Amino acid sequence: MSVDTPTVDKPVVVKRPFLRSIVAVLWSFIGIRKNSEFQEDLAHITPLHVLGVGLVAGLLFVIGLIVVVNLVVAK
Q: pLDDT digit string (tens) for 8-21?
A: 666 665 567 788 88
**What pLDDT shows up at residue 69?**
96
For the question of whether the overall pTM of this predicted structure is more than 0.75, the answer is no
- 45: how many CB neighbours lie within 10 A of its CB? 22
Condensed to tens digits (0 to 9), the pLDDT of residues 19-33 reads: 888 888 888 888 888
Return the percentage of the chain with pLDDT > 70, whole number: 80
C-beta separation of 20 from 45 below 8 A: yes
